[in-house]
Structure 1
Amino acid sequence: MDVLLIIFLIVLLCGPSSFFHLSLERKSHLRESVPVSEAIQKLQEVFAFAELPHNITPEKKPPQFMLELYSRVAGPDGSTKAHGLLEGNIVRSFENKVLSEKRYPVYIFNISSVRSKEHILKAEFRVLFKWRLFALSAKFHYCRVDVYELLDGASGPWRGNLISSRLLPLHSQGWEMFNVTQTVSKWAGDGRTDHGFLLTFTLPSGSFLDIDLHTFQKHNSDSNKSYLVLFNDDGRRAVPNTNTAPTYVKDTESPLPESEDSYLLQPMSHKLPHEMDHARSRRTRDAYPARYPACHREPLYVDFEDIGWAGWIISPKGYNAYHCKGICMFPMGKGLGATNHATVQSIVHALKLKQGIETPCCVPNQLNSINLLYFDDEENVVLKQYDDMVAVSCGCH
């Protein structure tokens, strides 16, 4: 009682505005008590970033096929369009370093950023062929392209095992994708920084196709670069919820307006209809005063620029995570997705059948994933999918 009297005197002497100012100062102090570095570290853990990328070249552009892949699986805000569109939950693209070795083009890739816990589901070697750069013979229309694993030797790189072979038309141009999953899976975790492929081109006559490597290198840059693309699973994906939806018995004898309609348990049906209608109306007025709205979803926008991540995240620039807010007191509306357990708990609380029983919590009952397209520390472009990042709907649990 003495404590309440002291608080009343403080409010009376200082005025409501001063008391509110003291409250704001306390909240500010609480925010400052949590180090920013600790908060960012926790955020890094959520997004599975061991290290944050830095020194990204401002002019650096992502490859077009990665932008197209992002658009296929995600909306403009990064939210996943449908489950299963992306193979695995992380796609890594590595630009090649082309070296001139004799008459064959060589492609070198640094895949050291692949984590040991990542399982490679698929690996694609993407090459853009522009046959006009080659010394073509008019009498031939096709060429066999052979992809070899590049091995290190005392006298320099040399051909290893044949990985893939394909017959391609000589008078067209475009991207070709070679499946190199088995070879790249062998590379992962071997401790080496660079790995590569060597290509040979054979005409139907059996002779090799001569290539102007200087011109080939010149045109194999920027948007024409070749890539090694890995589709990985790093084990972060959540286990799908297989629980069936709860079953409720609807009270049809005394319906409320749509905003207050509720699902009631059968044991309550022994009351007379007019008694139930009166009791429910009174409970609704008590349970949902204007300053305590029922459980609902509200916006919660996460801006990557505000947390200093805008320099290396390509898309999206931020996303709406949403959050759940409000109370879950009996009777709960049908739109709240209340479980049987939550309904029973709210009744026990309302009737005070047990001491210390709180109302159910307003929490997300459906979550969606988001996708991030970003540069890693080596300026390779990565597409990552994160589960349970967006509250799609809220309910009482």
Structure 2
Amino acid sequence: MHWESTHTSEMLLFLLSFATCLCITAARPTIGEQENDFTAENESEEVRSAAIKRLLEVFGMDDPPAIHGHKQPPQYMLDLYNTVADVDGVTKDPYLLEGNTVRSFFDKLHSEQVEFKFNLSTVARTEKILTAELHLFKLRPLAAHTLNRHHFCQVSVYQLLDSIKTNNTQEKKLLSSRLIPVHSTGWEVFTVTQAVRSWMVDEGSNMGLQVVVRTLGGTQMDMKLIRFASGRHHHQSKQPMLVLFTDDGRHSATLESTDPHEAIATSILPQAPMSAPSSRIARSLDYSEEEGVSKPCQRLPLYVDFEEIGWSGWIVSPKGYNAYHCKGSCPFPLGQNMRPTNHATVQSIINALKLIKSIETPCCVPDKLFSINLLYFDDDENVVLKQYNDMVAGSCGCH
């Protein structure tokens, strides 16, 4: 009896262990399932990587700029962005900006003298230099010199030359010169386009810029009377800065509107909120659930969030933008509220009369595209304002 009892206990223990193993085996994915999950995860990551890479190409970049921490963009660049773009980054007027790119550079020399040098290595050789400006912040004269008899001074900006390369004794070349009130304070801007263009042709010729201040009689003026902020001794908000207005050669599509706000306002399509709609609202916008019929061609929200993409670290503004998308049917007959082209009208008639097989109805597509502006830090911590064409569907129509 004892043997039978022991044998029964062992059998029960074995069956319990076997059942446990079965449960564990059933719960654990098979090798094939594990491989499928791993493959799906890899494919998902590959798709995301390819999508981000393609989006970078749209923004004219090979890789996202390195993030060096939170620096304060120059106030000039912030003001310029707010002048050319609305709160969503959409261009207010395509003619406000000269070219499609504005780059700002801080002085790298930090010299005690009134000399400045800027590293332009981040500027592509293909970019056309339209205008280059030297921005200097003029400080008030020191108190001991306020009673000086001079009221105006002549401020001249020179391009420093390499006499060995130029094969002459000339050490500098005059770029810009004008009279400035001695007791004024604030930003002074000088055009230095000629120098920057020469530097782009030969990077080694970039010896920097020099500022010379003289009295109206032509004598050298005391630099304690005329003072400009330097990168060495003054706050970043007053540092010497070079600003380049360039064109990178990208051209707008014919759909680009000259007045985005007028085009959107006159569109028959409803204005959508900037935030992405909930799935329930999105479904109601896409089609009528009761009738099961697609709604007429209309513009719907499509919000691009730079934080979700992982770009918030280097993009200053905007945080995201509403690209919108077009969706809906183009049923016969096409009314003017569908904004059809003549071609779309004819195609709609051919489709309705079944005159030719396999001719589909016209498509609901953007008929106005607007540009957006991006303010961001590049790899060298310079702040760049760039305008990108054809980024927002302003209105939709049947084509």
Given the two structures, how large is their TM-score scaled by the length of structure 2? 0.74
Q: Which residue of 2 aligns with 1:5?
A: none
Question: Residue 61 of structure 1 aligns to which amino acid in structure 2?
Answer: Q
Contact 2:305 2:321 in 1 (8 A): yes
Which residue, out of 289, 294, 297, partners 1:295? 297
Contact 1:132 1:171 in 2 (8 A): yes
Deviation at 1:166, TM superposition (A): 1.4
What RMSD over aligned residues (CA atoms) do the two structures have, in Å? 2.9
Superposed CA deviations along residues 241-297 of structure 1, whole A, max 9, x for unmatched, are 599xxxxxxxxxxxxxx99xxxxxxxxxxxxxxxxxxxxxxxxxxxx9543111111
Alignment of 1:31-110 (within 5 A): 32=44, 35-58=47-70, 60-100=71-111, 104-110=113-119
Deviation at 1:209, TM superposition (A): 2.3
Deviation at 1:237, TM superposition (A): 2.2
Q: Which residue of 1 aligns with 2:130?
A: 121
Q: Distance in 1 between matches of 2:208 and 2:175?
A: 12
Q: Which residue of 2 aligns with 1:174?
A: 186
SS in 2 for 1:306: helix
SS in 1 for 2:186: strand
Q: Distance in 2 between matches of 1:384 and 1:233?
A: 10
Q: Which residue of 2 aligns with 1:237?
A: 251
Q: Distance in 2 between matches of 1:180 and 1:226?
A: 14
Deviation at 1:362, TM superposition (A): 0.8
SS in 1 for 2:361: coil
Q: Which residue of 2 aligns with 1:368?
A: 370
Alignment of 1:146-295 (within 5 A): 146-152=156-162, 159-192=171-204, 195-211=207-223, 218-240=232-254, 290-295=292-297
SS in 1 for 2:294: coil
Larger Rg: 2
Contact 1:108 1:197 in 2 (8 A): yes
Identity percentage over the alignment? 50
Contact 2:303 2:324 in 1 (8 A): yes
**Structure 2 CA distance for partners of 1:353 and 1:33, relative to 1, 3 Å:** farther
Alignment of 1:131-142 (within 5 A): 131-133=140-142, 136=145, 138-142=148-152
**Structure 2 CA distance for partners of 1:367 and 1:195, relative to 1, 3 Å:** farther
**Structure 2 CA distance for partners of 1:135 and 1:31, relative to 1, 3 Å:** farther
Superposed CA deviations along residues 314-366 of structure 1, whole A, max 9, x for unmatched, are 10000000000011121223221111111111122122111111111111011
Unaligned runs of 5+ in 2: 1-36, 165-169, 258-267, 270-289
Q: Distance in 2 between matches of 1:217 and 1:236?
A: 34
**Structure 2 CA distance for partners of 1:331 and 1:30, relative to 1, 3 Å:** farther
More deviation, 196-205/227-236? 196-205
Q: Distance in 1 between matches of 2:352 and 2:124?
A: 52
SS in 1 for 2:78: helix
**Structure 2 CA distance for partners of 1:174 and 1:140, relative to 1, 3 Å:** same
**Structure 2 CA distance for partners of 1:33 and 1:140, relative to 1, 3 Å:** closer
Contact 1:237 1:386 in 2 (8 A): no
Deviation at 1:201, TM superposition (A): 1.2
**Structure 2 CA distance for partners of 1:190 and 1:316, relative to 1, 3 Å:** same
Deviation at 1:192, TM superposition (A): 3.5
Superposed CA deviations along residues 57-113 of structure 1, whole A, max 9, x for unmatched, are 21x111111111111111000001122111101111111124436xx3111101111
Q: Which residue of 1 aligns with 2:13?
A: none
Deviation at 1:168, TM superposition (A): 1.0
Q: Distance in 2 between matches of 1:371 and 1:396?
A: 28
**Structure 2 CA distance for partners of 1:330 and 1:319, relative to 1, 3 Å:** same
**Structure 2 CA distance for partners of 1:352 and 1:206, relative to 1, 3 Å:** closer
Q: Distance in 2 between matches of 1:342 and 1:351?
A: 14
Alignment of 1:303-314 (within 5 A): 303-314=305-316
Q: Distance in 2 between matches of 1:208 and 1:314?
A: 43
Deviation at 1:144, TM superposition (A): 1.2
Deviation at 1:159, TM superposition (A): 4.5
Question: Residue 101 of structure 2 aligns to which amino acid in structure 1?
Answer: I
Q: Distance in 1 between matches of 2:187 and 2:177?
A: 15
Superposed CA deviations along residues 29-60 of structure 1, whole A, max 9, x for unmatched, are 897285222111100111111331113221x1
Given the two structures, how large is their TM-score scaled by the length of structure 1? 0.74
Superposed CA deviations along residues 144-169 of structure 1, whole A, max 9, x for unmatched, are 11111123579xxx941111111111
Figure out how many residues of one structure are paired with residues of the other and give that number.
323
Q: Distance in 2 between matches of 1:29 and 1:293?
A: 36
